[in-house]
Amino acid sequence: MTAPTIRRVLRVVRRLSAWEKEDPREIAAVEFQDRRTGGLDRRPSVYVLEAPDDRSMRRATVQVRAEHTIAFLRPQGGTDLDLQGVGGEPERSPGTTGFPFADQAHAELLMPDEPSLLALVQVVRQELERRTVETPQREILDYIVGRVEAEDGLWLARVNANESWAKAVARHRRRPPP
């Protein structure tokens, strides 16, 4: 018999403060804006993570957040949302981070129409506390420093190619352990 699997459908949040708004349309305008069309993105990107236990899920969450963050954002931690169980079944879609783990975990939620997307926003808004996934910058940098110290060529290239990341990793390496 196989062990039960924990599943998370992680949406990297653009601005947590948007989720404090009451109107689902205002939230969607920030969190689900299609920058190409200016309308709402009815194919929002997510990462589908599966793990046998909470500890493994935490490691997977930190890894995918680190890989997403170094590919698209400045060095930072963040608050993301678990969309598991809302918005339908995610459709796998190759990611563009350049990291095999994150790229294979990437998917899109296919929302048939704008009312469906707004309904997803409403459910998540009502369950915000339960669906919030915090990944502090310290955990992300711990992971990245581990990859750098293991001389992972992909991570070394990414860190060295971005001055803000190289500085953040160097500062983090000099910190005493908690």
Q: Quick: pLDDT tens for 51-107.
A: 999 999 999 999 999 999 888 877 778 889 999 999 888 999 999 999 999 999 999
The DSSP string of 160-175 is HH-HHHHHHHHHHHHS
Q: Which pLDDT score is estimated for 36? A: 86
Among positive and negative, which fits the CA dihedral 118, 120, 124, 127?
positive
Q: Which pLDDT score is estimated for 77? A: 80
- For the whole model, what pTM was predicted? 0.91
